[in-house]
Amino acid sequence: MKKTLFDKIWDAHVVESIPNGPDILYIDKHLIHEVTSPQAFNELKEREIPVFRPDKIVATADHNTPTENQHLPVKDLLSRKQLKELSQNCEENNITLYGLGHPYNGIVHVMAPELGITQPGMTIVCGDSHTSTHGAFGTIAFGIGTSQVSQVFASQCLLVEKPKKLRVNVNGKLKKGVLPKDVILYIISQIGTNAGTGYFCEYAGNVFEEMSMEGRMTVCNMSIEMGARGGLIAPDETTFEYVKGKEFAPKGDEFDKQVAYWKTLKTDADAEFDKEFNFDAEDIEPMITYGTNPGMGIKITGAIPLEGGKSDAKALAYMGFKPGESLLNKPINWIFIGSCTNSRIEDFREAAKYIKGRQKAENVNALIVPGSRQVASQIKSEGLDKIFEDAGFKLRQPGCSACLAMNDDKIPEGEYCVSTSNRNFEGRQGQGSRTILASPLTAAATAVAGKLVDFTQNLN
């Protein structure tokens, strides 16, 4: 029987199948952070159940950490409590923690790939919906709830229904100024936020094959925003080259042995999917969102659709926009380049390339937040920090930052933020804040102009 990439990885991890029910799936890596793990640890303590395989768990602090003065005690009491609990729980259970200040600290979906913890063919879970990021390596990775975090702590397995299979194909040549973030925002704008519900998505076509690993992570990161349980891309030479030499990647003969296996991880010709979409790369342009879900997206040169239901009207009222309106020349108060979607070195290189020799507009507050301490070091070693600071941008310390308003970095009520994060829900970046999702290049160009512009005319 012909198998998809997803089938091959899933089937290799099934411990037992319950007739007409879910599978018991073995989990290779369990990533945890300070927000969703404390309740799970408490449940285990109450039931006197030990953590089954602590060496398969890696912890980091990211969600509610400050991005300034990380060497000082955390001011917010809840954040301080959660960080302390994470440290205590990891110590008591012999779990590796990369806490604030550690050279490997960072957003969980940034630090794990850059350390080689994420590898092709794995199953990876985390108490965070954007765990789908790791699918860029040809990995079944998805977010789980707190009760499931307990389940994996206790058994290193998960009771889960096998999702159906979806494939999104994008072929052709991308236009100048179109980044991976634009590709995924375009896909979601075309198929909607529910198209992937009940499915696991494979991305295929030459656009993804030619994309860097960091670009693939951006795409897979937002799979959850189309409703999919996760997304993945077949591993190839780009993947192997990225993993090679990473701190926790296999070395020497073991690496070669793994690559031989990883090369088998591709969808068989004629394997069947339950649903499939096809797009032409030439139709994609730099994208922005205008509403309060990631599916409400348009080309930056486009106009807000004239037709819509009650929810569309509510979203436009919240955002202060009107049907049919073009958002070109719309003044913007903030830009945020960061989050698990776009806080890797390539994102900052793209932004710096545009910003170099320019100044941010006076009406814009510009936040640059690296996804990890390693990315922060790269920014400095490549001299990007000077470009950002000379242009008036604020370079912060690593963390989730303004993506989700769980820390000090919040967008004020009523103000517009062009953000490279993944969600534009009401209040996502702060109560009453108005989020416009976009690529790092669009955010950089907006910061310079002080408004939304068709920056593609300024590209060399």
Residues annotated within the binding site for [4Fe-4S] cluster are 340, 400, 403
Distance of alpha carbon 44 from alpha carbon 47, whole angstroms: 5
Distance of alpha carbon 351 from alpha carbon 154, whole angstroms: 43
CA distances from 244 to 239, 250, 392 (A): 9, 8, 37
User: Helix or strand or coil: residue 366?
Assistant: strand
Distance of alpha carbon 369 from alpha carbon 40, whole angstroms: 29
CA distances from 343 to 100, 143, 422 (A): 17, 20, 12
Q: What is the 3-state composition of the chain as percent helix, strand, coil, each rounded to the nearest 5?
A: 35, 20, 45
Of 275, 177, 193, nearest to 226 by C-alpha is: 193
Distance of alpha carbon 110 from alpha carbon 124, whole angstroms: 14
Contact by Cβ (8 Å): 425, 403? no
Contact by Cβ (8 Å): 411, 435? yes
Contact by Cβ (8 Å): 282, 18? no
Give residue for tokens 């509403």. 291
Contacts of 23 (CB under 8 A, 6+ apart): 10, 14, 15, 16, 17, 159, 160, 161, 162
Residues making up the chain, counted from first to last: 460
Contacts of 92 (CB under 8 A, 6+ apart): none
Distance of alpha carbon 452 from alpha carbon 328, whole angstroms: 5
Sheet holding 275-280, edge to edge: 230-232, 199-204, 164-171, 275-280
The per-residue b/e assignment along 111-145, b for 16 or more CB within 10 angstroms, e otherwise, is: bbbbbbbbbbbbbbbbbbbbbbbbbbbbbbbbbbe
Contact by Cβ (8 Å): 24, 18? yes
